[in-house]
Amino acid sequence: MKGIYIKSGLISLALLLTPPGVLSAVKQKLIKPENLEALPNGYGYLLIDVDVAGIAPSFSYVKVKSSKKNPRKKKKVKYSKNGTHVVTLKHSENGLYALPMPAGTYQITQINAPFFDLPYKLDTSTKNEWRFKIEAGKTNFAGHLSIKKERSTRYLDVNLINRFATEKERLENTLQQLLSLAPLAHGVGVRDDFAQALAEKESSR
């Protein structure tokens, strides 16, 4: 009996300490590109190359209302009232995954990668490289998300890498049907003129 009290006590404490956004978090699961449904108006696809390991990794994101603030300066960034979304990354295999989302800029705020009794959590809410943007009617490639399998007790390797050029050929070859309906766009959340410069050159040839 004593054990049960302790357990419930701990859970109560955890509930009291949990930020309100997390309690109301909407849970989502990434979808394989071949299983995607047609986009509603005002929506685009988030496309992400997932290479994760671990027991039950996930990431949380929020919509950024004002993208003018520089998160690295740790100034207040306004997030959408819709609150936090949690995307589970527990998949049978790594590779390309997508998620239909309303157009806008988003901030990945936290990566969770628990490992047995080690509750790995990485706060990414102030890092601008953890942003992505969704253009309506497009397949927005946000990059390569990796959570390394090998880790130490105090840290793990987590990255969202801007790999538009590296992956462009593969995406165009493997996602022909999807891209014919929703063309490929560069979905990183920081200013990056490369895709535009590349496209300009294509059209001017």
Positions that interact with another protein (CB under 8 A): 49, 51, 53, 70, 72, 115-116, 122, 128-129, 144, 146, 148-168, 170, 190-194, 197-198, 201-202, 205
Instruction: Compute the distance between CA of residue 87 and CA of residue 90 in angstroms, rounded to an integer.
Output: 9
Token digits of residue 111 = 């990566």
Contact criterion met (CB below 8 Å) for 44 and 140: yes
Closest separation between CB of residue 117 and another protein, Å?
11
Residue 180 or 204: the one with the smaller Cβ distance to another protein is 204
Closest separation between CB of residue 51 and another protein, Å?
4
Please give the distance of CA 23 from its chain centroid, rounded to a whole number: 19
Closest separation between CB of residue 127 and another protein, Å?
8
Count CA atoms within 13 Å of residue 165 on its CB side.
8
Closest separation between CB of residue 157 and another protein, Å?
4
Residue 7 or 170: the one with the smaller Cβ distance to another protein is 170
Question: In the beta sheet, which residues pair with residue 107?
Answer: 62, 131
**Which whole-number Å values give the CA distances from 104 to 13, 43, 205, in the listed order?**
35, 9, 31
**Cβ-Cβ contacts under 8 Å for 157 (sequence gap 6 or more):** 146, 147, 148, 150, 151
Closest separation between CB of residue 193 and another protein, Å?
6
Residue 25 or 147: the one with the smaller Cβ distance to another protein is 147
Residue 181 or 198: the one with the smaller Cβ distance to another protein is 198
Residue 51 or 135: the one with the smaller Cβ distance to another protein is 51
The alpha-carbon radius of gyration of the chain (Å, integer) is 19
Residue 79 or 120: the one with the smaller Cβ distance to another protein is 120
Closest separation between CB of residue 46 and another protein, Å?
18
Question: In the beta sheet, which residues pair with residue 118?
Answer: 115
Token digits of residue 106 = 């988003």
Instruction: Compute the distance between CA of residue 118 and CA of residue 152 in angstroms, rounded to an integer.
Output: 10
Instruction: Compute the distance between CA of residue 143 and CA of residue 126 in angstroms, rounded to an integer.
Output: 18
